[in-house]
Structure 1
Amino acid sequence: MRTRTLGTTGPAVSELGLGLMGMSDLYGPADEAESIATIHAALDAGITLMDTGDFYGMGHNEMLLRDALKGRAREQVVISVKFGALRDPDGGWSGNDGRPQAVKNFLAYTLRRLGTDHVDVYRPARLDPDVPVEETVGAIAEMVKAGHVRHIGLSEVGAETLRRAHAVHPISDLQIEYSLLSRGIERDILPAARELGIGVTAYGVLSRGLLSGHWSPGRALGAGDFRGMSPRFQQENLQRNLDLVEALRRVAEAKGASVAQLALAWVAAQGEDIIPLVGARRRDRLAESLAAADLALTPQDLADIERAVPAGAAAGDRYATAQMSHLDSEAPGNGS
């Protein structure tokens, strides 16, 4: 597994990371033993970047990662944690908290659940509209000085917010959705990140399964699977998006690859400063994704992919309207 660096100030990490959210939340039930086996398989394959959030399963995801890392050398793993999203006992969402005192409180609980003395990259999951980003980042910077955090990241913020935060403390990377179906960052956000020397950890690279090549129009979604509310999975939108997938499949088959491998390789090919996060919950899906690291795309391949799935071709927003309103990255004039 080759490595890339999270920006100019962040750590070296594997060129693919593992996103753990689906092992605890939002995609329906997951098998805990298989989840841990998948994390072990990723580590054995050379993946060092593990991405979690303290609100994934209300702490379950961090404890799952702690259990999976038992017996492993802590320094061989880069743990990235998102914080700030507020939940209720029924799993509902109650906004975001970026107050300095909340930052330190969230971190204290995260360190205990993970069973570690530091987090490698710590980031607010969403911008708190009631707290200036400078205050939130300043509080994390205090935790860097105290040794509890190694690097500061951000998630789903626009270009201007990125600049304001970076002026307070170097930002290692921006975690944001980026895929063939979600290319909004290319206009202003990605250029700003590159101007500042900030890396990108790309999530949603398979568009929550749409670009996996395994999705079917009649697939039933279980309780707790948020894709049931996602605009891209609704009726006409779903069929239009799956038509794009079939066009991509033809390119993939000519290349001797799967749709998922081609979609992953495309994201990785957009720059050495981009690290795709693989959201596999099972070892077989992980193995398929890992093969993308060895898939070299030629200029002709990239042109063929662009023709199959042009920028802006996706039908439907990437989140429901209420969730889109919480994304600083999608705010008018903020670089979406």
Structure 2
Amino acid sequence: MASGGAVVPRMKLGSQGLEVSAQGLGCMGMSAFYGPPKPDADMINLIHHAIKIGVTFLDTSDVYGPHTNEILLSMALKDGVRDRVELATKFGISWGGQIREIRGDPEYVRAACEASLKRLQLDCIDLYYQHRVDTRVPIEVTMGEMKKLVEEGKIKYVGLSEASASTIRRAHAVHPITAVQLEWSLWSRDVEEDVIPTCRELGIGIVAYSPLGRGFLSGGSNMVVSLSKDDFRKYLPRFQAENLEHNKKLFHRVNEIALKKGCTPSQLALAWVHHQGTDVCPIPGTTKMENLSQNIGALHVNLTTEEIAELESIADSVRGDRYSSQASTYLNSDTPPLSSWNAN
């Protein structure tokens, strides 16, 4: 397995010119959703170490905290570090108190971008995603404003997250999409039917978030038991008792294959994502140095066709939805036709 001194290769993400590390770093868990925020100094050290060993594609969002993760990144990217990274952030989830709203109207797009630039202390964002699709606003309207931000030099490349194939096509017709971020792992494969083929047809890069199944493919049910009370994963359908007992069997089989190969289950699961194509960049998140090194080691785990088939046969049996029913708009969403907006 690779050690912490490994050098991470580079890859082209999409067909618009963006080049990133072949594995990125999801920064959400440092500040939000996965339990209490971690100490800034520790996370800055982790980010600096990641960059040093070649993990330069950093992923954040304005809703992580909210806002605190972008501020953390701004602290980490001072003193000459900024030029060594490809920074991605997102807009679209407006969070006031306990009320979340998905917004893609032009006024919000611009205001969110300006606010992120200020928090990040940047003049330009490398890759700017619409974090979730506003099902009330035609994607052409949202993309029109993002195109203006590109023309103004405030963002370099445009991305979407959790968009349907048809939404991706419509957005790409307004301005080229560089990357689509989606949940893709051994136990989240719904995107393979139409979203992935659409991205490949259009030359759009694929960024896989939660490639370790929200951590389940690293630690199995032990991970679930150890979650803090404010970790939102405790409430995901797949971690509920009625599904967890079944999904534990899935993890045990992955672990058995990993033992035979001499790697960890997380490296095996992450290697499966890496084997999906040269246009795929997984962005596993972590708050620990040892997990960072372990994740990079996945780049050196080679899977045979037979091993891939065996892993996929195991994964086909996962039980439980990705999100609760209240978050249905978070999943591969469509928007209304442009004509409906013009009629308002």
Contact 1:81 1:122 survives alignment (8 Å) = yes
* 1:29 to partner: Cα distance: 1.1
Contact 1:154 1:174 survives alignment (8 Å) = yes
1:320 corresponds, among 311, 321, 324, to 324
* SS of residue matched to 2:295: helix
2:38 corresponds, among 12, 25, 31, to 31
* 1:251 to partner: Cα distance: 0.7
Contact 1:324 1:330 survives alignment (8 Å) = no
* SS of residue matched to 2:88: strand
1:55 corresponds, among 47, 60, 63, to 63
Give, as a single letter, the amino acid of the residue that structure 1 aligns with 2:320. Answer: G
1:201 corresponds, among 207, 224, 248, to 207
- State yes or no: 1:85 paired with 2:89: no
In 1, distance between residues paired with 2:149 and 2:99?
26
Give, as a single letter, the amino acid of the residue that structure 1 aligns with 2:124. Answer: H
Give, as a single letter, the amino acid of the residue that structure 2 aligns with 1:5. Answer: K
Q: Specify whether residues 290 and 214 from structure 1 end up closer, same or farther in structure 2 by C-alpha distance, changes over 3 A only.
A: farther
**How many pairs are equivalent?**
327
Q: Within 5 Å, which residues of 2 pair with 1:261-276? A: 261-276=267-282
- State yes or no: 1:72 paired with 2:80: yes
Which ranges of structure 1 fall in alignment gaps of 5 or more residues? 332-336
* SS of residue matched to 1:72: coil
Q: Specify whether residues 120 and 243 from structure 1 end up closer, same or farther in structure 2 by C-alpha distance, changes over 3 A only.
A: same
* 1:214 to partner: Cα distance: 5.4
* SS of residue matched to 2:222: coil
- State yes or no: 1:179 paired with 2:188: no
The percent identity for this pair of structures is 41
Moved over 3 A (4+): 328-331
Contact 2:105 2:137 survives alignment (8 Å) = yes
* 1:204 to partner: Cα distance: 1.0
Which ranges of structure 2 fall in alignment gaps of 5 or more residues? 1-7, 336-344
Give, as a single letter, the amino acid of the residue that structure 1 aligns with 2:16. Answer: T
* 1:329 to partner: Cα distance: 4.2
* 1:296 to partner: Cα distance: 1.6
- State yes or no: 1:9 paired with 2:16: yes
Q: Within 5 Å, which residues of 2 pair with 1:1-336? A: 1-32=8-39, 33-89=41-97, 92-213=98-219, 215-216=221-222, 219-307=225-313, 309-311=314-316, 313-329=317-333
In 2, distance between residues paired with 1:126 and 1:217?
27
Contact 1:83 1:124 survives alignment (8 Å) = yes
* 1:220 to partner: Cα distance: 4.1
In 2, distance between residues paired with 1:164 and 1:4?
26
* 1:139 to partner: Cα distance: 0.4
Deviations 1:164-190 (A, max 9, x none): 000000000100000000000111110
Contact 1:152 1:173 survives alignment (8 Å) = yes
Give, as a single letter, the amino acid of the residue that structure 1 aligns with 2:250. Answer: L
Contact 2:216 2:223 survives alignment (8 Å) = no
* SS of residue matched to 2:178: strand
TM-score by length of 2: 0.91
* SS of residue matched to 1:190: helix
RMSD: 1.6
TM-score by length of 1: 0.94
* SS of residue matched to 1:216: helix
Q: Specify whether residues 93 and 294 from structure 1 end up closer, same or farther in structure 2 by C-alpha distance, changes over 3 A only.
A: farther
* SS of residue matched to 1:210: helix
Give, as a single letter, the amino acid of the residue that structure 2 aligns with 1:211. Answer: L
* 1:327 to partner: Cα distance: 2.3
* 1:330 to partner: Cα distance: 8.8
Contact 1:10 1:173 survives alignment (8 Å) = no
Counterpart of 2:340 in structure 1 is none
